[in-house]
Amino acid sequence: MPSSTLPVAERYCFSAPGKALFAGGYLVLYPENSSFVTALSARIYALISPSQSLDTTRSTVTVLSPQFAEGEWSYNISRSSTTGFVTVSAVNLSRKNPFAQAAVTTILNYLSATGNLPMPIPSLTINILSDNAYHSQPHDNVPRFNTHSQAISAVPKTGLGSSAALTTVLTAALLSYYGNVGRVTENKRLLHNLAQIAHCTAQGKVGSGFDVACAVYGSIVYQRFLPSIISAIPVVPNELDDAKGSEYLHVLKNTIESNWNVGTAACAIPPRLRLLMGDISGGSETPAMVQMVQQWRREGGADAESTWTSLGKANQSLISAMIGLQGESESNPKEYAAVMDQIIDSGAGTSGIKTLGVEIGGKIGGLIQQAVDSITEIRHHLRAITKGSGAQIEPEQQTRLLDACNELPGVFGGVVPGAGGYDAICLLVTEASVDRVVNATNDIFANVKWLELREESVGLREEAFPTLAEYL
Ligand SMILES: Nc1ncnc2c1ncn2[C@@H]1O[C@H](COP(=O)(O)OP(=O)(O)OP(=O)(O)O)[C@@H](O)[C@H]1O
Ligand SMILES: C[C@@](O)(CCOP(=O)(O)O)CC(=O)O
């Protein structure tokens, strides 16, 4: 097996964003459908440093997450001299972080299969910092990178895709440190394929992968890869099974280097508009909901199929309205700004904004109408699926809340993002109306915690190590 020598032991830091799936829940599981995924300003950071351990007889990768109790996961690494298969075993078996373990396993085996893993494998420490918005915080005004007294698995999440961002930054960190593969920020396809495989291995199920794609590429119109790409990869074998070790390396390398045909066209929330995320802290079971929706579709006959198709069209219509508005803001900036001013001055909510769109007419007025109408229609179909499948995608409680939001000034509309349920709501609003929305005093908003987030459309990026190291 060929091997390389380690590049200069530098200190690196990478960060990746969280996500909101504004349009495309459930349909995005099928490659024929597009979805609108927004990258958020909440980021997870990985700071890499060569291990301080004096033990040179063993190679270890240690992931530290100092914001959480028991946030230390260490893995012993050994490479078979016959097959090149790299075994990654937890030093402390009672400490589980499947995403960290899968990232180390996938990346080191890929590097081994391509002859880019340095031998002996140098030990490495990766520190993780994660923005507060990923987890429910005990009160306002917590320090940046707040610490929790519980283990990460016990701290309630806000559903921004922490595991996808974590897996992505770990992938970038490991590739940069060990690999001889150029700048990883310029090799997004490799990074994406590796992070998707690691994330799926850890989850033990095949999601659409929109969260990992967003962590890598940022805000995108996402179309998934064929599920068979991932299912072709064998289960990570036992270190003693040489035949399986060789097969795993072979399939992993071929899969990583094949063309997945993923749709990752860049998109953005148009200027002067914002996505506003409200945390409801309810909690929903995505896999169980996906199963219910799939069963409804299988057994629901022509009605189910027609709802499914109409939802797909409404999603597509919203996506093209967003792309169209973005385009108009660039090609026709004066008119775009004037229309936005008019909407803001009117103090109108959803239905008033639609009427204004009709009155204003022209391309921009039409796109505004289209955006409002398609959000309304998406919700209509999601409620039909809720009723038909029993999966609580837009439960009545969320319907009342979203309807109340539609009355607030500057609200184009809102949805239950992603799989829906009781976790969160996501509104499209004018930037100028954000304060008025978050300060609305109606009782119905009492349980909504508006998250301090905005779109930050860039995906994986390199950061200045020293600036962040001071938080460790
Ligand atoms: N800051 C972190 N440090 C270490 N591990 C983390 C960190 N953030 C996430 N993880 C890992 O990811 C797991 C959470 O993944 P999970 O898929 O349940 O949540 P999520 O990706 O935030 O949720 P959702 O898919 O609903 O948006 C944690 O239990 C832990 O294993
Ligand atoms: C239902 C689904 O389409 C979206 C799930 O989104 P979230 O985990 O609720 O953000 C599943 C998937 O795409 O993996």
Asked if residue 157 has its Cβ within 6 Å of ligand 1, the reply is yes
* CB 457, CB 39: distance < 8 Å: yes
Asked if residue 22 has its Cβ within 6 Å of ligand 2, the reply is no
* CB 198, CB 255: distance < 8 Å: no
* Range scoring the smallest mean pLDDT among 95-99, 293-297, 387-391, 463-467: 463-467
Tell me the C-alpha distance between 257 and 190, whole Å: 7
Q: 88-114 burial, b if ≥16 CB within 10 A, otherwise e?
A: beeeeeeeebbbbbbbbbbbbbbbbbb
Contacts of 165 (CB under 8 A, 6+ apart): 16, 17, 18, 43, 44, 130, 134, 211, 215
Task: Starting from the CA of residue 46, give the closest ligand.
Answer: 1
Asked if residue 15 has its Cβ within 6 Å of ligand 2, the reply is no
Task: Starting from the CA of residue 294, give the closest ligand.
Answer: 2
State the pLDDT at residue 183.
87
Asked if residue 163 has its Cβ within 6 Å of ligand 1, the reply is yes
Contacts of 370 (CB under 8 A, 6+ apart): 317, 318, 320, 321, 324
- Residue 8, pLDDT > 60, answer no
Asked if residue 418 has its Cβ within 6 Å of ligand 2, the reply is yes
State the pLDDT at residue 54.
64
Please tell me the distance between residue 21's alpha carbon and the centre of ligand 2 in angstroms: 8
Average pLDDT over all residues of the chain: 93
Residue 229: count of CB within 10 angstroms of its CB = 21
pLDDT tens per residue, range 259-304: 999 999 999 999 999 999 998 877 778 899 999 999 999 999 999 9
Asked if residue 128 has its Cβ within 6 Å of ligand 1, the reply is yes
What single DSSP character describes residue 443?
G
pLDDT tens per residue, range 14-31: 999 999 999 999 999 999
Asked if residue 166 has its Cβ within 6 Å of ligand 1, the reply is yes
pLDDT tens per residue, range 200-232: 999 987 799 999 999 999 999 999 999 999 989
Atom of ligand 2 nearest to the CA of 21: 10
Tell me the C-alpha distance between 219 and 207, whole Å: 18
Q: Secondary structure of 36-97 in the HEC alphabet? A: EEEEEEEEEEEEEEECCCCCCCCEEEEEECCCCECCEEEEEEEECCCCCCEEEEECCCCCCC
Tell me the C-alpha distance between 48 and 46, whole Å: 6
Task: Starting from the CA of residue 18, give the closest ligand.
Answer: 1
- Residue 75, pLDDT > 50, answer yes
Q: Complex ipTM above 0.85?
A: yes
pLDDT category of residue 11 using cuts at 50, 70 and 90: low
Tell me the C-alpha distance between 226 and 293, whole Å: 19
